[in-house]
Amino acid sequence: MDADHRRVACEELLRRNGFSRCRILVQGGMVRIQLPQEEFARFFDTAFRERIVESLKATGVVFVSLDLDELTPPSGGEFPTTTPPMK
């Protein structure tokens, strides 16, 4: 799976788990999850975190990280509710 397909798959997975505003950055075998700060606490639940990490790794990811900088809206001002299609 190439990086763009992996990004889309990971963002879809997070959206299915209730994260309406999220961004995934793919860097080699690592994904970095960006979320609004108020949603960080969901990852403190061990069972939830393990389920998400396992699902993300099923896409071929080796490392999963949570970006502790708060997610900021794109220059357009609003987050898309769906992942933009691949080109």
Report the C-alpha gap between 4 and 8 in whole angstroms: 6
Query: Does residue 39 sit within a domain?
Result: yes
Q: 13, 55 in Cβ contact below 8 A?
A: yes
More confident residue, 82 or 20: 20
For 2-41, what is each residue's pLDDT tens digit?
889 999 999 999 999 999 889 999 998 999 999 998 999 9
How many domains would you assign to the chain?
Answer: 1
pLDDT of residue 70: 74
Query: Does residue 16 sit within a domain?
Result: yes
Query: Does residue 80 sit within a domain?
Result: no
Query: Does residue 73 sit within a domain?
Result: no
Assign residue 35 the CATH number of its domain: 3.30.70
Residue identified by tokens 């949603």 is 39
Query: Does residue 61 sit within a domain?
Result: yes
Domain range spanning residue 36?
Answer: 3-66
In the predicted model, what is the mean pLDDT of the chain? Answer: 85
